[in-house]
Copies of this chain bind each other. A is one copy, B any other.
């Protein structure tokens, strides 16, 4: 049984993030990858839609330059033949503030011939923003 492409991508991603070695990541990204981590691009320019391998490598380099990833817990996982969906919890520390952050992220990945062709990520961004700011944003009670 061949290893699922998600595991190769996962290892390559964390190697790129924590060791700043992008060689494995480059070898698994499709040249025309569609990539989007939905969130406030005013705060983090590396969020939003990106197209192509070069743009995605830049995103990962940007992320690796501002955070250290400590651990991740996989809360839910579905694997298809060339697809995967995963609900993750990341524990990380922004290098600047040093205050640990915990964030939940939902990933949807598509592979073709062992290459990642599409990745979509949804994050509980309000919680993330408050943690990065280190303070609560006052919200009116709606319901």
Contacts and interface: CB of A to CB of B under 8 A. Distances in A.
B108 A140 contact: no
A85 B78 contact: yes
A2 interface: no
- Interface footprint category on A: 35 or more
Contacts of A83: 78
Interface of A is mostly: mixed
How many copies the complex holds: the figure is 2
Contact of A45 (B94, B125, B143): B143
A113 interface: no
Given A40-B126, A76-B120, A87-B120, A141 B45 contact: yes
Nearest to A84: B78
